[in-house]
Amino acid sequence: MSPRSTLAPVALAVGMLLISMVSYQCGASLAKHLFPEVGAQGATAYRLGFSALLLLLWKRPWRRMGNQRDWRVLWGYGLSMGAMNMVFYMSLRTIPLGIAVALEFTGPLALALVGSRRWIDFVWIALVVIGLALLLPLRGHVQTLDPMGVMYALAAGVGWALYILLGKKAGDAYGADAVTLGTSIGALLAIPFGIAHAGSALLSPTLLPYALGVAVLSSALPYSLEMIALTRLPARTFSTLLSLEPAIAAVAGVALLGEQLSLLQWLAILTIIVAAAGTALSVQRPVLIEPLAN
């Protein structure tokens, strides 16, 4: 087999993963445009509700439902997914998209580094601390981030870590249907909050196409491309490329939302990206950072 024929599938998989990350951040940007009409709660209800509907119609998991399943793990996975999406969108109300994703990344990074004993792991931990020190609202000037927005983003990171831990168990029990069932449970959590906040505005015919766009860009398209990439890329390569997501989010925020970041904030995002890439490259056990969770 020629080197060209060997590299072609890998290059295609890398391209699909990059497209999936761009699609996901475009979906988040589109969701933020819905905030003035339905709030972060309504946008979360749109995203999870339509995503669940699309996945249920596509996968039809009820055909494979058995009796010997761990429902507690599945519900924990689904509720963590719903809560994670909710608090992430809540953070986007007051802080830029790229910063919110970078702060959220600290959850899976902490999970990947827990129990670290090697010196190189402490380098990645130090980079995360430096990045957080540059981002957290510790300085009294005009570019200080909103504390509540930061707290919501960090809470989303905790939710992402729980999503990873419970998602692995749910995946072992339910296979490919875990995502569909978990998304449906997450929608059950998010929709009541969306209705309580936005009420009948959620049924506005002018908003429904945008809501469907959020679901497709944030779930249907990236999940499909991501699954293809997962089958063609080594886990380490996949996770290293995934570390680009905060940068993609920051660019999407600047290009699509008109957000502006200071030089220090760009530097903070870069340090977290380097920490994520370094962790993926040096970790000795299976990498725990999973894609497209937020």
* pLDDT for position 250: 94
Could you state, in chain order, the average pLDDT of each consecutive group of 10 residues for the chain (294 residues)?
Answer: 62 89 94 96 96 89 71 91 95 95 90 78 88 75 77 94 87 83 93 96 94 90 78 78 91 93 92 89 57 55
* pLDDT for position 288: 46
> Using only C-alpha atoms, what is the Rg of the chain?
19
* pLDDT for position 140: 52
How far apart are the C-alpha atoms of 36 and 30, rounded to whole Å? 12
How many C-alpha atoms does 128 have within 13 Å on its Cβ side? 25
* pLDDT for position 34: 96
How far apart are the C-alpha atoms of 227 and 255, rounded to whole Å? 27
Helices assigned H by DSSP within 202-262: 208-215, 221-232, 235-242, 245-257
- Of the candidates 126, 125, 101, 102, the residue with the CA atom closest to the CA atom of residue 114: 125
* pLDDT for position 142: 45
How far apart are the C-alpha atoms of 173 and 72, rounded to whole Å? 11
User: Residues near 87 by Cβ (< 8 Å), separated by ≥ 6?
Assistant: 152, 153, 155, 156, 159
How far apart are the C-alpha atoms of 103 and 121, rounded to whole Å? 19
* pLDDT for position 287: 46
* pLDDT for position 292: 53
Give this prediction's pTM: 0.88
